[in-house]
Amino acid sequence: MIMDWQNIDLTTRIKYLIMLLENSNDAVGYKSHQSTVNSLLTGSQNKYAGDMSFEFTQSHYKYLYNLWNSAMKNQKDNSVVDLIKSEVMNNEVNIDSSN
C-alpha cells in the first residue's frame, strides 16, 4: 500500500500498524512486537518536555517502517488495508501539522 506516510500523525500510524499486526498471519511475530509497539504508541502520545519527554529517533521510525512492511506482506485478508485506505482517501485521519 502506498500512502503519504509522512503526512499522517505518528499516533495514527502506530494505531494502524497495530491493526495490521492483529490481522497478520504471523501471530507469533505480532506477540513478539506487541510490547514495543504499545510502548511506542504511548511515547507518541507523550506531550511532556524535559525529564518526562520521549523523543522518537530514526531507529524508532525505521523499526516501525520495517514492521509495517512485514505486516503488509502477511495480511490474512484485505479488510484492514481497505479500511486504512478508505480512511486516508476520505481524510478521516489525523494529519501531522508539524510537517
What pLDDT is attached to residue 19?
A: 93
Directed axis angle between helix 10-22 and helix 27-44, to 10°? Answer: 160
Top pLDDT among 44 and 28 is at 44
Average pLDDT, integer, range 13-19: 93
pLDDT tens digit sequence for 55-95: 888 999 999 999 999 999 999 999 999 999 888 877 766 65
- Indicate the pTM of the whole model: 0.81
Greatest distance between any 2 Cα atoms in the chain: 43
What pLDDT is attached to residue 5?
A: 60
Q: Mean pLDDT of all residues in the chain?
A: 83
Residue with cell 518526562: 52
CA distances from 61 to 34, 55, 92 (A): 16, 11, 23
